[in-house]
Structure 1
């Protein structure tokens, strides 16, 4: 047995300090990006394209054709007008073809030139640069804007911020009014809105789109491109090693480092990149293109122009950052014509041809036949069997037309109602009528197939349309 002394022996304890790992910040609030102004070939091209399509967007709803708005997507009347073409719900296949064609055109361009749609034509990018232009004119350069935001509120800061946001809101309101003008007659939209006669639905729609424009282009900006735009996520599926994208030539640029213009970078063991960070400062999404291809890059070419300007001042060769392909950067041959690109081109050609054929063969008139459901057939006072119909004649053209109606399938029929009607341009004419026939002409059949024929009465055009229906006998 152990003695009492052995039982009372204390075990020495050593205090060990446990170092807790630094707390990882899983969510970092968005840092505001102060986009620096840059000039160059691609920015000039982008501004001219933006101006052209912005002008087109503003002018198109005001154009007139044959006394009506040339482009009007009238949802209430279920009628889409495109110059001389009027589309009705029956013609939605044409719109479907148009949307599919546009999608494949986007795929084709993306496979060849990368995400240039985002950099040069996307409304989010266009409106964001317009809002940045307001910032530059009112608050100054990127460094001046950053300094202004760091200051406490004073008179100078207040009036500049108030003026900037007022310009943003006014431009957003004009954008919303123009946009709604594509769906409601544009003159009515502007006049009713500024005279406070707009309906609640139209006024609410205008303010909704105005606030969305203000929020997207003024506040969210690159957040839309990075986190909300689906195109940014699936664009990589269309890229290959021969796709032209904005890329940094690491072989030529590394190692980076500052130097004077007179120093030889090779003697210093440096590449052509002077690590000025201008490519980051001019990027609207705030990325560093030198880190390689990133889905955030919208191919706007701002970093290309900024880098070319630096290379020119340093008397180095331009193109350290340029539109190039992965194969070119690796020193391999670039294949401009390849199977994926040819596949998209073939699909585009086929769909364009089908769309043109469908438009050319589209009937300028439509006829819907509605039977009287209360009584399929009745015997009139002459002892004849009579069926009652309602004909819906849709004039899809932009001119008033006169049509002649007749029926085939039964001999010696009597037509009760108008057989020649005038239908206004792009409108529907409802014609109640009935057909009667001697029972002996039906040969005892309970149901006989017939067809209604509608013909355009004109010396210039030969339009004729048949529509099947049924004629019922009394049991």
Structure 2
């Protein structure tokens, strides 16, 4: 469906009220035209194949892998625990998540300033699943010309079979994607059993179906529309580009004037450039653009046009690289700089954030001790005449194994912990331990004294936490 509106264009050489003013119809909304992508092979497609296999392998495998009985990656939202590569994180570690997001953002900015949208072309989930769906479509319906012919042909049993089989495979891949995604929040082995025995909760069914439908629509039907209209990266990428950013580009100095010819024709005698105007660069483009029109925001840097053009250049005995990864400066015959102020800036911030996160992780203690003083009374005298203060110790074990902790207190002469001093806390659990501290009145110098609680693990000698509190006694 399309919508048009007549727009009056005023000729500056005539009066605005002149009846001869021209009108032009401008398209405000245009229906999507299906893009039939031609399959191509080459260096960059091999690179994408291996990156795709690696990413898909990690996505579908990591939720099944366990370390010491715990999933490799598992986000336990009800338990407020996040298991990542053998470590457990809690809501108080949210600063680490913020740091990871900042690292991801500046890493994307840094790579974009150097190589444009290589993220989109090789690792973006939308690209990965779209290429998988296109591969399935190619295997079932045939080449580009066969698919176009099939779509234009009248309905028939063969057409119905191919279309049904294609969508069935798409739905299977989409369902596997949805199950795997939910499996990072709901133990995947339990999820599969609970879903098919109807013992899972309603939210599990909802999210599996949501991601199944989203994957099916995005990769099967919307495809380039997601990149062009829904993804914000295509819009703000231009602020990170400069003349030295290496992107997929057509070299007009070599290619123009373009024109079709036979291999036997001498291009110099015919006054033609290297481009034979075969149109393959357009036919293989997943977003349907012509790279020869220059840099466009629709280009996702997938390099399909490079492989297609190199194949043609090889057949014509012309040098490869008519379409290649290059910079605007190089196309203009100027030297290109890899190190630039903005790359230094993004790189410096990226290194600083990576260093901060690594330092935080290396110094992170997988235990926590909070001391809450009983505010119901200042102090008491026990039967032995010693001054007592009551506390509640909040202990958290954030390690992967149970821990036995020994509690001690220091900071004053004769200070002693009169209650239980050892406690065992299971992995990922919290414990509350009442504690009573007693001091000889003769040793009290000030009515309000700083004391230190120390918690040492008997299971792991490297765990040693100290927390300060206050001891209140009588005035001397």
| TM-score, scaled to structure 1 | 0.89
1:290 is matched with 292
**63, 85, 88: which is aligned to 2:65?**
63
**200, 208, 211: which is aligned to 2:210?**
208
* More deviation, 213-222/17-26: 17-26
For residues 77-88 of structure 1, what are the structure 2 equivalents within 5 Å? Answer: 77-88=79-90
Deviation by residue 1:271-328 (Cα, 9 ceiling, x = unmatched): 1111111101101111110000111111110000011111111221111101111111
1:451 is matched with 452
Q: CA deviation at 1:450?
A: 2.9
Q: CA deviation at 1:121?
A: 0.5
Q: CA deviation at 1:362?
A: 1.3
1:106 is matched with 108
Match of 1:266, SS?
Answer: helix
**257, 263, 266: which is aligned to 1:264?**
266
- Residues 37 and 328 (structure 1 numbering): CA distance in 2 closer, same or farther, change over 3 Å? same
Instruction: Find out whether 1:31 has 2:48 as its counterpart.
Output: no
Q: Which runs of 5 or more structure 1 residues have no equivalent in the other structure?
A: 1-15
Alpha-carbon RMSD across the aligned residues, in angstroms, is 2.4
Q: CA deviation at 1:128?
A: 0.3
For residues 67-466 of structure 1, what are the structure 2 equivalents within 5 Å? Answer: 67-372=69-374, 375-377=376-378, 379=380, 382=383, 386-413=388-415, 415=417, 417-437=419-439, 445=447, 447-458=448-459, 461-466=461-466
Match of 2:216, SS?
Answer: helix
* More deviation, 179-188/44-53: 179-188
CA contact (8 A) 2:409 2:416 kept: no
CA contact (8 A) 2:40 2:308 kept: yes
Q: CA deviation at 1:225?
A: 0.9
Deviation by residue 1:212-239 (Cα, 9 ceiling, x = unmatched): 1111111111111111112112222222
2:470 is matched with 470
Distance 2:240 2:21 in 1: 48
1:40 is matched with 42
| TM-score, scaled to structure 2 | 0.89
Match of 2:369, SS?
Answer: strand
Q: CA deviation at 1:113?
A: 1.3
* More deviation, 260-269/27-36: 260-269
CA contact (8 A) 1:390 1:432 kept: yes
Q: CA deviation at 1:259?
A: 1.1
Q: CA deviation at 1:71?
A: 1.8
Match of 2:392, SS?
Answer: strand
Distance 2:333 2:27 in 1: 41
- Residues 419 and 299 (structure 1 numbering): CA distance in 2 closer, same or farther, change over 3 Å? same
2:14 is matched with none
* More deviation, 50-59/357-366: 357-366
Match of 1:337, SS?
Answer: coil
Distance 1:308 1:283 in 2: 14
Q: Which runs of 5 or more structure 2 residues have no equivalent in the other structure?
A: 1-17
* More deviation, 209-218/387-396: 387-396
Match of 2:26, SS?
Answer: coil
Distance 2:230 2:473 in 1: 62
2:13 is matched with none
- Rg larger for: 1
Distance 2:159 2:119 in 1: 36
Q: CA deviation at 1:376?
A: 4.2
Deviation by residue 1:40-93 (Cα, 9 ceiling, x = unmatched): 111111111101111111111111112211222222211122233221222222
Q: CA deviation at 1:417?
A: 3.9
Distance 2:212 2:106 in 1: 30
- Residues 370 and 270 (structure 1 numbering): CA distance in 2 closer, same or farther, change over 3 Å? same
Distance 1:128 1:203 in 2: 24
- Residues 107 and 18 (structure 1 numbering): CA distance in 2 closer, same or farther, change over 3 Å? closer
Deviation by residue 1:115-139 (Cα, 9 ceiling, x = unmatched): 1010001110000000111111222
CA contact (8 A) 1:376 1:472 kept: no
1:8 is matched with none
CA contact (8 A) 1:63 1:70 kept: yes
- Residues 17 and 454 (structure 1 numbering): CA distance in 2 closer, same or farther, change over 3 Å? closer
